[in-house]
Amino acid sequence: MQLNDRPYLHWRQGMSIQDVIDERNFIYPKLVVKLNGKLIRKEDYAATLVAEEDDLKIHHLLAGG
């Protein structure tokens, strides 16, 4: 699985987007999540599973003040 265009070494069968967010400790609230280019809404993070060949992007909207 690719996370933000880098190989994600901790992928395991059955993991959801929320699992990735938790494992990576992505605590920032303003995220833009795309799975294989498709936008995933916050309410669907837990139910959306990530397959081994998937391309997952979790972009933080944080550009400083």
Least separation in angstroms between residue 40's CB and other proteins is: 10
3-state SS assignment for residue 44: helix
Least separation in angstroms between residue 12's CB and other proteins is: 20
DSSP 4: T
Least separation in angstroms between residue 34's CB and other proteins is: 9
Q: How far is CA 8 from CA 1, 43, 50, in A?
A: 5, 23, 11
Q: Are strands 55-60 and 2-3 parallel, antiparallel or unpaired?
A: parallel
Toward other proteins, which CB reaches closer, 46 or 62?
Answer: 62
Residues that bind other proteins (CB under 8 A): 4-6, 25-30, 32, 39, 57-65
